[in-house]
Structure 1
């Protein structure tokens, strides 16, 4: 590369995007790669703090920042993800549809261990919308050795399932069972089912049916089995999860013959959460906190289950790091530390 004063650069072709920053007003590309510098551009370049430009030609074995960023992005690009750019040397990875971002953290670390480049992502297991930026990548210099990009591509091949993937929400039939004799008898109004239905609907799924059961393990078992017989592919129970003698939902779940992955989660609120599987049907036992807290353990587990992921005990244990909700006056989840590790 050759450093050329802007006064001598008229007629030259820019080899990279040039960014203009006007504090409080604008930050973006002022001159795109390939722009032929004109006389009137000189004053603009100087106002941008650019008294020199780089004039260069790629030598054999070198790779321009735009091509390099595209190749890195393609290396980590998985299902449900499209590319945008390059823009100012950066390529963004975008969600094609709403879903759950899965980041292989070992793969991410391996990519960023390569020289002269970066890959930054959202957190693993972030719920995202169509068109949302999931990650961005670029190299730090304008030109990088071809061998360094080839190394990145080889590293990417070591992760068979990809470094970044977008898992789509499945259209599961969700059955809800609200337990508690006081609700079952009509003594008090049920306010739990509407909360659970809203959380399911927000993740592009619908509730098949809502049922009720008294504080009787046998009745709870019967209603769970009845929901499954009616076509439910996921069961969410609400209430009756504590150690009080009248809270018998865990006993009812056990009576179905379901395999218990965990009873208890290192998450607050939601420590009395239960995760079980009856054959291939997940059963989520949600404690009463799910009714009156904006965000609980359910918000960390439900999106994963609705993508078809088989959540295990270890996955629940891993929620401990970041599992303490700050209980902000205005809840901004998922744009907060809750559930992030």
Structure 2
């Protein structure tokens, strides 16, 4: 491919290198010059353009990207249509990504113009997560380079191992004076981890923290796919009571300790071919730790051996270290305000067949007013409500509400317009935003407080979302300030789902009730909800 300026008359059929905008004529970068373009450009006294001239053996950028991506097509990985020389590979389910790193590296050494970028090996992904992207940098690349790059891709270059439903028996231990609240906290934390993986706790048993009692409990847990043990006292040796109880029960200890912090005191074993995981005390916190990596692999059907755990040390420093800022301390010192709520109430209620859903009353109170008042009872730092300035009825029912009303003047263009207006109107001290929907009647102040409690960007919880008992992610969702620009840049009516999926490594799910899934945007939804409410 040749790249450079040409006399205007010689640019016919070549690709425009730089966007052109003058006196109402717009030609986008990458546009193929046509005869009518030349005529219009001559009228503007343009004499030359910088273009890309393809050679006979060149492959156009989109065609090259699509051809190379086809070699990576795999189950549970969707290949997007090429655009501007880029093809994305998207997960169609939740699981663990495996890579052939040597093939990826070899691909990227063929030619600097032909690139692939991926998530790390063993990355946990959700449905919609981008796992890789192929980008052809110039407008075209030589055919022989495309062939060479394609040859570097193996059949198992990218594989997604899906989470499979499994059951577990959780064994909790207690010592003299051990607080019952710590038992409850430990069980809740394990359940929260389990629900996001499709792991069902078949049973929970609390026993004294002794070798014999633990061994007996392990024997009774034989019907589950795996056994989890969370001890009242940290396991400090391979011969401590919990590992010894495993051996007494007829099992085998395969690993004590791991080079991941937090998570050092994990131990791993097996009994009758089923895994047993000894959970370290840090599991009582929802923060990311080494146990998450082990459970993710087990749920995806991947082996976790002694050597596999040893390899986790590279990248295994998960806790705050002096070389990294510690925003938790900043928040505690009072330098950052509590998360601010952004309530979206600018929708046009098209699906309600003439009635406006936000004005329909519940217990004599319009839905939008009722939702706002419920959220105001939370510990959030403030409430802003995005409204459509053309809908004066919604604005009227919100009069006197202790909230800032934010007009979204282009609300009719879609949900993204409301997000953009709301983000741009946030108070400057807001360190995070909770985006809530006004048509969700069962969301409570407790749901908002649960998001705030789960928010911990220093430990991988920069986005916090509720998860219902059925495992589905709901609303509202909390976003750290680092995502304000991304949220404000969304387009159309799709909301922030794609952003959440792309940032799954920074997502924390907090268990909540089924109300985080209930939204009333059709007459049928209203009727069903009112009927269920009356019968409860």
Identify whether the pair has TM-score above 0.5, normalized to the shorter chain. yes
Which deviates the most, 264-273 or 322-331? 322-331
The match for 2:119 among 95, 101, 122 is 122
Cα separation, partners in 2 of 1:147 and 1:195, compared to 1, 3 Å: same
SS in 2 for 1:275: strand
Query: Could you state the TM-score of these two structures normalised by the residue count of structure 1?
Result: 0.80
The 10-residue stretch of structure 1 (169-178 or 29-38) with the greater mean CA deviation from structure 2: 29-38
Q: How many residues align?
A: 316
Q: Does residue 308 of structure 1 match 2:290?
A: no
> Which residues of 2 match residues 31-180 of structure 1 at below 5 A?
39=37, 51-56=49-54, 59=56, 61-115=57-111, 116-156=113-153, 159-160=154-155, 162-180=156-174
CA contact (8 A) 1:78 1:163 kept: no
Q: SS where residue 76 of structure 1 aligns?
A: coil
Aligned pairs for 1:1-341 within 5 A: 8=9, 12=12, 30=28, 39=37, 51-56=49-54, 59=56, 61-115=57-111, 116-156=113-153, 159-160=154-155, 162-182=156-176, 189-228=183-222, 231-239=223-231, 240-243=233-236, 248-292=241-285, 294-327=287-320, 328=326, 329=328, 330=456, 331-332=459-460, 335=505
- The 1:167–1:218 alpha-carbon spacing in structure 2 relative to 1, beyond 3 Å, is same
Partner Cα separation in structure 2 for residue 155 and residue 198 of structure 1: 41
Quick check: 1:81–1:166 contact (8 Å CA) kept in 2? yes
Q: Which runs of 5+ in 2 are unaligned?
A: 21-26, 321-325, 329-455, 462-503, 507-536
The 3-state SS of whatever aligns with 1:144 is strand
**1:339 maps to what in 2?**
none
Q: Report deviation, 1:255.
A: 1.8
Q: 1 CA distance for matches of 2:314 and 2:120?
A: 13
Shift of 1:220: 1.0
Q: Higher relative CO (CA 8 A, sep ≥ 6), structure 1 or 2?
A: 1
TM-aligned CA deviation for residue 32 of structure 1: 6.5
Structure 1 position 191, deviation (Å) = 1.7
SS of match in other structure, 1:191 = helix
Instruction: Please list the CA deviations of residues 247-279 of structure 1 after superposition, one character each: whole Å capped at 9, or x if unmatched.
Output: 621211222222322101011111111011223
Q: Distance in 2 between matches of 1:313 and 1:95?
A: 29
Give the helix-richer structure, 1 or 2: 2
Shift of residue 4 of structure 1? Answer: 6.0
Deviation at residue 304 of structure 1 after TM alignment: 0.9
Distance 1:41 1:208 in 2: 75
Distance 2:119 2:71 in 1: 17
What CA RMSD, in Å, does the superposition of the two structures yield over aligned residues?
A: 3.4
Q: CA deviation at 1:293?
A: 5.8
Separation (CA, whole Å) in 2 of partners of 1:286 and 1:273: 5
TM-score, scaled to structure 2: 0.53
- 1:241 touches 1:250 (CA, 8 Å); kept in 2? no
More displaced 10-residue stretch of structure 1: 320-329 or 275-284: 320-329
The 1:193–1:9 alpha-carbon spacing in structure 2 relative to 1, beyond 3 Å, is farther
